[in-house]
Structure 1
Amino acid sequence: MLYVEILGNLPEMARDEVKAMLELGGGEIIGQDYLFLKVDAGEKAFPFLDRLGLAHEYGLLLVEADSVEELLQKAGEVEWPIKGAFKVDTETMANCRHDVLDLPRKLGAVIHAQGFRVNLSKPDTVVRVYCGERLYAGIRLRYFDPKDFEKRKAHHRPFFRPISLHPRVSRALVNLTKATREILDPFMGAGGILIEAGLLGLRVYGVDIRPEMVEGAETNLKHYGVRDYTLKLGDATRLEDLFPDKKFEAVATDPPYGTAATLAGRKRDELYRKALRSIYNVLEDGGRLAIAFPTDFNGKAEAEAVGFRTLGRYYQRVHKSLERYFYVFEK
């Protein structure tokens, strides 16, 4: 049994990202306690869970309990697969209903009694306790360091444009498509989505109508070590002309929503509608599209009119002048 701790800024999107990766890795979510997901999966799922963007960590789930006393009793009966020295960390979630103030010391003593060494400053193994409606204890397998994503934020890239998705969100969009081979971004801009996809080992394809963006995206991809890419100068509403003999496994993109200049002089809603149809035409049957639209554009209705099936919709308020939905569609 595994656990995944998801982030709280887009929790429904984060949960569905985990679900998508488990569908690839052979597993399923069997319970949720606030931001704590209980997962039925084995080692086959690890490479896919390692891809997560909207997650804090994942690990082995070893103990569940309804009280501190029950947790400590069960912990004494478990064979802890600890390597080297360990420490206990407690995560007190917003819905925690137990007194866990002294729990790290008490649980540490139970595990120490099994012959394991404690090292609070440089542990080899981190034992994690989560307090929500219930109590959970396990061993962290992977921590998603925020610094890894921070260094890929827009202002750290050699080609800088201020309007860009957070790298965690870009990665989640890629994962929600369930891509395993390749991905297309027809509004690639500075290449943020392509960077995340490329770092996951996918072949990436990008299109932008502005020459400076094509050149800048290539600079950014090279900077982060992405080499397997094809970038084209062109129109996102005419993808069939750019890729006449190609059907894509998946598409993830964040279309422009701002001024007429960023929309190449075209009306926004018209651009979105034509792009949706063109994306549909170059997507494989069963392929997925992950895309963002402002809330005043009915993305669900427009995509379904083209032929897409809606799989998910997630709200995000960016600032007072921009509210949007992230959508996942399937052809």
Structure 2
Amino acid sequence: MLYVEILGNLPGMARDEVKAMLEPAGGEIAGQDYLFLKVNADERVFPFLDRLGLAHEYGELIVEAESVEELLEKAKEVEWPIKGTFKVDTETMANCRHNVLDLPRKLGAVIHAQGFRVNLSRPDTLVRVYCGERLYAGIRLRFFDPKDFEGRKAHHRPFFRPISLHPRVSRALVNLTGARKELLDPMMGAGGILIEAGLLGLKVYGVDIRPEMVEGTEMNLLHYGIRNYELKLGDATKLEELFDKKFKAVATDPPYGTSATLAGRKRDELYRKVLESIYGVLDKGGRLAIAFPASFDGKKEAEKVGFRLVGRYYQRVHKSLDRYFYVFEK
């Protein structure tokens, strides 16, 4: 059994991202306790879980209990898969209903009694205890360092545009499409989604109606070492004229506002035409991950085209913008 700790800013989207990454390797979410997911899977899912954007960490779940006393008793009965030295670290979630103040010391003593050495400053193995409705103890296998994502935010790129999704969210959109080999962003802007897809080893295809965006995206992709790409200057409402192929995965974040960013076209009408255009180049069974302002009924308009809603996630960005992220299937 494994565990994944997801982030709390878009929890529904984070859970579905994990689900999408488990499916190719036959894993499944077995339970949830606030931001803690129990995952029924084996090591075959590791390459897929390594792709996650909206996760804090994942690891091997060793013990689950209803009380501190039960956790400590169970901990005595298991063989801890610890390499080198260890440290016990407690995560007290918002729904924690147990007194875990002294639990790191007590659990550390149990594990130490099995012959393992403690190192509180630089342990080789981190034992993680989560307190929610129940208690869970496991071994951290992968930590998603926020510095990695923060370092790819818009203002750190050579071609900079201030309005851009956070790299974690861009990564999640890519993953929610289930993309395995390639991905299209038909309104790529400065290429934030394509950067995350390219770093996952996908071939990326991008389209934008503004020449400076095509040039800038190429600059950004090359900056991050991404070489497997195809960028086109063109209209997202006419994708079938640009490509003589179908795609299994499309992810995009359309512009939300001014006539300049919308190339002088009315916003809602542009969105409708873009949905129709994407539907035309998407394979049957393929998926689209897309963001729309909350004032635009993305579900209704996409279903008119023929899409089926797979997921919808609300986010309030600031007082003048709230939006939904959607995942649709053809």
TM-score if structure 1 supplies the norm length? 0.99
Cα deviation, 1:110-145, whole Å, max 9, x if unaligned, reads 000000011111111000000000000000000000
The 5-angstrom pairing of residues 28-177 of structure 1 reads 28-177=28-177
User: What's the CA shift for 1:26?
Assistant: 1.3
Counterpart Cα distance in 2 of 1:42 and 1:238: 43
Counterpart Cα distance in 2 of 1:222 and 1:25: 31
Q: Which residue of 1 aligns with 2:329?
A: 330
- Which stretches in structure 2 are left out of the alignment for 5+ residues? none
Counterpart Cα distance in 2 of 1:201 and 1:81: 31
Partner-residue secondary structure (3-state), 1:16? helix
Amino acid at match of 1:312: G
Cα deviation, 1:201-230, whole Å, max 9, x if unaligned, reads 100000000000000000000001111000
- Which stretches in structure 1 are left out of the alignment for 5+ residues? none
User: What's the CA shift for 1:299?
Assistant: 0.3
Cα deviation, 1:171-191, whole Å, max 9, x if unaligned, reads 000000000010000010000
Q: Which residue of 2 aligns with 1:293?
A: 292
How many equivalent pairs are there? 330
Counterpart Cα distance in 2 of 1:123 and 1:226: 34
Counterpart Cα distance in 1 of 2:171 and 2:143: 16
Q: Which residue of 2 aligns with 1:268?
A: 267
User: What's the CA shift for 1:310?
Assistant: 0.2
User: What's the CA shift for 1:54?
Assistant: 0.2
Alignment RMSD (CA, Å): 0.4
Amino acid at match of 2:292: F
User: What's the CA shift for 1:289?
Assistant: 0.1
Amino acid at match of 1:160: F
Contact 1:51-1:175 at 8 Å conserved across structures = yes
User: What's the CA shift for 1:249?
Assistant: 1.4
Partner-residue secondary structure (3-state), 1:222? helix
Cα deviation, 1:268-323, whole Å, max 9, x if unaligned, reads 01100000000000001100000000011010010000000000000000011111
User: What's the CA shift for 1:25?
Assistant: 2.0
The 5-angstrom pairing of residues 152-301 of structure 1 reads 152-243=152-243, 245-301=244-300
Counterpart Cα distance in 2 of 1:322 and 1:186: 22
Contact 1:187-1:208 at 8 Å conserved across structures = yes
The 5-angstrom pairing of residues 311-330 of structure 1 reads 311-330=310-329
Partner-residue secondary structure (3-state), 1:21? helix
Kindly, what percent of the aligned residue pairs are identical?
A: 85
Counterpart Cα distance in 2 of 1:24 and 1:268: 36
Contact 1:25-1:46 at 8 Å conserved across structures = no
Amino acid at match of 2:223: H
Counterpart Cα distance in 1 of 2:12 and 2:73: 34
Counterpart Cα distance in 2 of 1:25 and 1:36: 20
Partner-residue secondary structure (3-state), 1:82? coil
User: What's the CA shift for 1:24?
Assistant: 1.5
Runs of 4+ displaced beyond 3 Å: none
Counterpart Cα distance in 1 of 2:25 and 2:87: 30
Counterpart Cα distance in 2 of 1:168 and 1:177: 15
Counterpart Cα distance in 1 of 2:143 and 2:52: 10
